[in-house]
Amino acid sequence: MLPPPRILSLLPALILMSCVTSGVQRRSAIVPNQAIALARQYGLVDVRTAVPDISVDLRYATRHNVVRRPVYPANMPCLLRASTVAHLKQAQASLRRQGYGLRIWDAWRPQEAQQVLYAHGGGTGMFLDPRTGWSRHCGGISLDATLVDLEGREQRLPTYFDEDLQKASSNARPRDPVILRNLEILHRAMREAGFTPLEGEWWHFDDADYLHEPVSVIKAADLGIVIR
């Protein structure tokens, strides 16, 4: 049965509205892929693709951080420099052989996000003042990570993410033997793979190859990502 004339007259408008709506949805849906494609031009690699068995839980894409709201978009890609990802693969493989794995809490951090974090948490000592320098996160050569078991359960460590810097030192010797063992397992695997733990934060690891090398920082705007 053919639709009534009035419905026929509305069809072009409905089709146009559908195209506009679906177009917006498509653009939104492909943002991560566009960002990842652009990231390659800056030497950044998508960690989820390069190390498929690694766990990624970007804390700044959630409200569970010092700002208490998402700083990254929900579809934020997890990016690091290609050579840093090569080290990461080695660390993950080593931990897998021991019955563990890595969960990444943060990786490449855009300049814009560093500014937001410093504005909210500069007094904690966890974030560099952008006026004096950028975090190595902004160059894609650092990551924040914790230890998980093969089921993805986070293991006990001295503190949680971005928490209690008085107890977060990488050089601390926790009295709890389980926490001490977990810390040693994590740090040994990361050191052997070419990372250097940050002295003040047990969860932060720098690619040792870049410790004395200047690295260009990369903005969210360069990859079409919006930071709020």
Tens of pLDDT along 88-139? Answer: 999 999 999 999 999 999 999 999 999 999 998 766 777 878 888 889 999 9
| Predicted local confidence at residue 196, as pLDDT | 97
State residue 19's pLDDT score. 36
Read off φ and ψ for residue 40, nearest 5 degrees: -60, -30
Query: pLDDT tens for residues 200-219?
Result: 899 999 999 998 888 899 99
Query: Residue 184's pLDDT is what?
Result: 97
Q: What are the domain boundaries of the chain?
A: 5-223
Q: Which of 19-23, 62-66, 149-153 has the lowest mean pLDDT?
A: 19-23
Q: What's the CA gap between 71 and 219, in Å, rounded?
A: 14
Q: What is the pLDDT of residue 122?
A: 64
Measured from the Cβ of residue 63, the count of other Cβ atoms closer than 10 Å reads 11
Token pair 């389980």 is found at 178
| Alpha carbon distances (Å) from 207 to 35, 91, 190, 193 | 23, 12, 9, 9
Lowest pLDDT segment from 3-7, 87-91, 157-161: 3-7
The residue whose two tokens read 């934020």 is: 76
CA 77 to chain centre: 7
CATH, domain range 5-223: 3.30.1380.10
Q: Tell me the per-residue pLDDT of 6-56, one tens digit each, with 9 for 90 and over.
A: 433 333 333 333 333 333 333 333 345 789 999 999 999 999 999 999 999
> What CA–CA distance (Å, rounded) separates 191 from 208?
9
Cβ neighbour number for residue 109 with a 10 Å cutoff: 30
Q: Which residue has the higher pLDDT, 71 or 19?
A: 71
pLDDT value of residue 20: 33
Give residue 7's pLDDT: 36
Q: Which amino acid is at 212?
A: H
Per-chain mean pLDDT for the chain: 85
Q: Could you tell me if 50 and 89 are in contact, meaning their C-beta atoms sit under 8 angstroms apart?
A: yes
Which is nearest to 66 in space by CA: 112, 134, 114?
114
Regarding predicted confidence, which is higher, 19 or 191? 191
Q: Would you call 207 exposed, middle or buried from its count of C-beta atoms within 10 A (0-12, 13-18, 19+)?
A: buried
Edge-to-edge strands of the sheet including 100-106? 55-56, 100-106, 142-149, 201-207, 195-198
Write the Ramachandran bin of 211: left for phi over 0, alpha for psi from -120 to 50, otherwise beta.
Answer: alpha
Confidence of residue 79 (pLDDT cuts 50, 70, 90): very high
pLDDT at residue number 130: 85
- Please determine, for residue 159, whether its predicted confidence score (pLDDT) is greater than 50: yes
Bridge-based pairing state of the strands 44-46 and 201-207:
unpaired
Residue with more model confidence, 150 or 173 = 150
Q: pLDDT above 70 covers what percent of the chain?
A: 85
Strand partners, 80: 45
What is each CA distance from 222 to 39, 40, 111, 156, 202, in whole angstroms?
A: 8, 11, 10, 37, 30
Tokens linked to 127: 């974030």
